[in-house]
Structures are given as C-alpha cells and as structure tokens.
Structure 1
Amino acid sequence: MLWIITQNKKDLVNVKEVRVIDNRIEGVINRSFFVFWNKVLGGYNSNERATEIIKEIYEKLEISNTVTTFSMPEK
C-alpha cells in the first residue's frame, strides 16, 4: 500500500500505480477494465526530475515491508 501526499500538500492519496507523463507525476487511484481514475501528484521542471522522484518512490518501496508513505517534493 502506497500513500502519497501531493506536491501542494492538500491531498493524501492511496495510489495503485505511479507514472511519469512529460514533467508531471500521476498516481492511478483506481482502475477498471477500460477506465483509469488518476490524479496529478506533482509537476516538475523536467521529465528528468520527475523520473528521479519516481526512483525515490521505488527506493522507499524497496525498503518497506508494509505501508509506505511519500511526500512529493516541492521542486
């Protein structure tokens, strides 16, 4: 289970997947056969920075055996 607080610190979201789209990071909250419910978790200056953050999330998930929390960085 992964809980992420959004970049603007206004939403705490339980996400199923996290993905980089251009320079922003989106979390998939739920999905059915053809429909995705997603939310933008943060926007950054570049695709490279967004990819770095995805790697940080992955590293945190790797060391956790249970529930993982992550705060999206401001920059």
Structure 2
Amino acid sequence: MLWILTQNKQNLMNVKDVSVKGKHIVGFVENSLLDQWNKVMGKYDSNERALEVLTEIFAKIDQSDGAAVTFTMPEQ
C-alpha cells in the first residue's frame, strides 16, 4: 500500500501506480472497477526532475518492510 501526500499538501492518496507524464508525477487510484482516475501529485521544472522524484519514490518502497509506505512529494 502506497500513500502519497501531494505536493500542495491538500491530498493524501492511496495510489496503485505512479508515473511520469512530462514534468508531472501522476498517481493512479482505483476504488472499484468503475471508479478509477489519475491525479497529478506534483509538478516539477523538468522531466528530469520528475524522473528523479520517481526514483526517490522507488527507493522509499524498496527500503520498506512490506507494510504501508508513505511518501511526501517534494516542493521542487
């Protein structure tokens, strides 16, 4: 289970998938088969920075003990 606090600190999301779309980090949320959506969790100055943040998220997951993982999107 991956919980991410969005960059604007206004949403705490339980995401199933995280991806980079240009300068944005997008989370995929699935509540049921009919209730699925993507939400921008952070916007950065470049695609390279967005990819760095994605790598930070992966490192946090990799270091976890298999329980719920929390991550706060960096401001920049």
TM-score (norm. length: structure 2): 0.90
Q: Percent identity?
A: 50
Q: In the TM superposition, what are the counterparts of 1:20-59 in structure 2 within 5 Å?
A: 20-30=20-30, 32=33, 36-59=36-59
TM-score (norm. length: structure 1): 0.92
- Counterpart of 1:9 in structure 2: which amino acid? K
Please, which runs of 5 or more residues in structure 2 have no aligned partner? none
- Please list every run of at least 4 consecutive aligned residues from structure 1 whose deviation after the TM superposition is greater than 6 angstroms: none
The count of aligned residue pairs is: 74
Deviation at 1:32, TM superposition (A): 4.3
* Partner SS, residue 4 of structure 1: strand
Please, which runs of 5 or more residues in structure 1 have no aligned partner? none
What is the CA–CA distance in structure 2 between the aligned matches of 1:26 and 1:32, rounded to whole Å?
19
